[in-house]
Each structure stands twice: as C-alpha cells, then as structure tokens.
Amino acid sequence: MKVKISPSRARGQTAAPPSKSMAHRLLIAAGLSRGESRIRNIAYSEDVLATISCLRALGARIWQEGDMVLVRGMDPTKAGKAILPCRECGSTLRFFLPIALLSEKPKTLTGSEKLLSRPLGVYEALMQERGLPYQKDKTSVTVQGPLRPGIFEVAGNISSQFISGLLFALPLLAEDSEIRILPPVESRPYIDLTLSALKDFGIRTVFEDNRILIPGGQTYQPRDMKVEGDYSNAAFLEALNLVGGEVAVTGLRKDSLQGDRIYHQHFAALEKGFAAIDLGDCPDLGPVLMAAAAALHGAHFTGTRRLAMKESDRGEAMALELAKFGIQVQRTEDTITIRPGNIQMPKESLDSHNDHRIAMALCVLCTKTGGLIDGAEAVKKSFPDFYKVLSSLGIEVEYVVD
C-alpha cells in the first residue's frame, strides 16, 4: 500500500495508543494465571494478535470484546504438541520460547524469514548447555522441554527480550532459579516493565547487582488490568510539533516505567541544536529521533548497533530514506551522524522497508515536505490507526492504488 502525505500542519489533541510492550506482558501473565483475567485498553496490532494466537495455541481461552480481552489461563507445563504463530513479532517469539519449554511436548514457533533471521543464539546456547532439542530453519524453530531450574547467564547487550522470556517461565519451575546478566546491560527499562507485570500478577523476584533471583513453585494470580498509553508510538505524534504542528497527546502515565518516555528530553535537546544522544536504552526511538534530527539541527547518535536487529536494519534504512530528503548520514558500527541540512521534498517514492517505525518516521517528515511512502501498511504491526489519527489532526493523507 502507498500513502501520499501532502504538506500540512497537525493540530489538535489525541490519546496515546495503548502500549504494545505492556499489552504483550499483561496478556502473557494472564495466560499463565489460574483463573480469568481482564485486560483492558487493548489495540489489536499485528504484534498483539500474534501473542494472542500463541496463548491460544498453548491452551488459553481468550475472548475479545471491544478493547477488552478476557483471558482464561492455562497450565503451560501440561501443554501438548503445538504450533505457535509468531508472525513477524520478535517480542512474541522471544517471550514464548522459554514458555514452550515448560512441558515435555515439542513446540514449533513459526514466523516470517525476516523474524527468524533475528538473533536467537542466546536461547540456542542455553538449550545446548542443558541438552534440550533445538531445531531452526528459515521460518520456524522447534524446541522441546522440560526446562529445569538453575543458573542462566545471559548477555545484557543483545536484547532484553531473552531475559523477559526467561522471567515469564522460571517462576513456574519447581525450584529456584537465577538469571545472571552479563554487563553491559542495555534496555534495562524493558526488564523493569516485565518485572512490574510479574509483580502485578503475584510473582516475586529480586533484582540486584545484575542478578535476578526467581523463587520456584509460584503461581500467577488472575487480575483485572488496564494497558497504559504507549510512549514509543506517542513519540511519533509529538514529533509533529517539531515540524510545525501543535499536537497534545493525552493518556501517558507520568510515573511510567517505559524507557521511551525519555523522548521528551531528546526532543528538547534536538530543538536546542546539534545533539548527542545515546540510543542504548531506547533503540525503538531511533527512527523518530533521526527524522527529528534531519528536520532540525542534526545529531550524533551512539549505541546504534542494535538498530540492525529490528524489523529492518533501521540505521541503514533511515540513511537511505533521509538521502531522498537531501540529508547526509554517516554511519559506523555503533554510531550514526545526521548532518545539518534543509529537508526537501523527495523526488522519488520513499520506502518503509516493511518496518512500522520507519513508515511513521517518514510520515512525520512528509507533513513538512510532502511525499509518497511505499509499504505504508507496515504501521499495522504496532499502530494500525496511525493514518486515521494523522487525518484527525488535519494531516492530508491519501491512499494511492497502483
């Protein structure tokens, strides 16, 4: 799908979309509970639907009623042979793989070739150490438990999702376990989000000195929870203010544990002048911050290595697309520099690279210059109503049929 954005100024007020990160965590905790839970304020993005599908595959019963999901939990230790459709969601794949190991029956987690090309070596190494079967091909990975309690060493600079996946599963083992995170620890806020969800559902953990102690023999307790607003996607809406808009975003918790809440500070730095920003704890903000830097005074980003491990190689993708706006980008293995310049209307179509955050970042710039974005449907992964929200704020959005 192609979307044409005409130069236009965003004005108005809109609510932040529900947090995809918290929706994953609350739904999984509900699925692991003995009883019925209600999770409210759900947005049915492709990623959230993947998590719901995987819970159903393991035996949870789920009913969708508007933006509320009723979950009747299951016992993953008794789950039979199953196929878990992860679609294109890295969080779903990495969260469910340890859960799939709780029973002795084989589980196959499926997904796109792009998804299965993303790093899984942390789990593969852990399973080899424990003598557990692990078989991977271009579109699936098949594993088999049962997982035993013990000490799990995980590198802290690859993805926090591996740690979160273990955190969901280990409390259900008979005895205590420990996760030792090898420094440096990146994306710590995402670990905190998982620990918060576990606590909400009655699970005890102790996190100190890069060690997480997880008592065994615990039981998830059903809860009635509401998904908070999403700072990650709200950033794209507030970025409209950096290119001439007047947008107020509501529904964001000031005491949120979401690491991407830091975008307010980064936006302020970018408005002042050429900024130096570390993306180590907020890689999902990379595309929108690079777009903002291109529209303002440029910036030097560090901690960009992990951008290559997302839905696209986000550093490379943004460099290619910003060049179409006349902006120069310099890259090294772990840095990206956006050179100051005046963005101009692209003379050719822009490409989302099948990445929701690239598509939304390009839209922000196109409200200033105009432009045509190919692969615009990528936003369905996390923010399916994105173009509808843009239209409600006065942005001229046109769907182009080939």
Pairing of strands 335-338, 350-351: unpaired
| Distance of alpha carbon 22 from alpha carbon 39, whole angstroms | 10
| CA distances to 14, 42, 400 from 283, in Å | 24, 23, 31
Query: Any bridge partners for residue 247, and if so which?
Result: 12
The answer to whether the CB of 100 falls within 8 A of the CB of 59 is: no
Residue (of 259, 254, 256, 249) closest to 285 by Cα position: 259
What DSSP string describes 224-283? EEEPPB-HHHHHHHHGGGGGT-EEEEE---TT---GGGGHHHHHHHHHHSSEEEE-TT-G
Exposed/middle/buried for 192, CB within 10 Å: 0-12, 13-18, 19+?
middle
Place of tokens 């964001």: 252
The answer to whether the CB of 64 falls within 8 A of the CB of 44 is: yes
Query: Any bridge partners for residue 224, and if so which?
Result: 38
| CA distances to 91, 222, 259, 262, 369 from 279, in Å | 19, 35, 11, 10, 27
| 284 noted as active-site residue | yes
| Distance of alpha carbon 68 from alpha carbon 65, whole angstroms | 5
Find the catalytic residue in 47, 284, 351, 374: 284
Query: H or E stretch including 48?
Result: helix 46-57
| Distance of alpha carbon 286 from alpha carbon 171, whole angstroms | 33
| Distance of alpha carbon 309 from alpha carbon 119, whole angstroms | 7
Token pair recorded at residue 8: 């236009």
Pairing of strands 329-331, 335-338: antiparallel
Active-site amino acid positions: 284
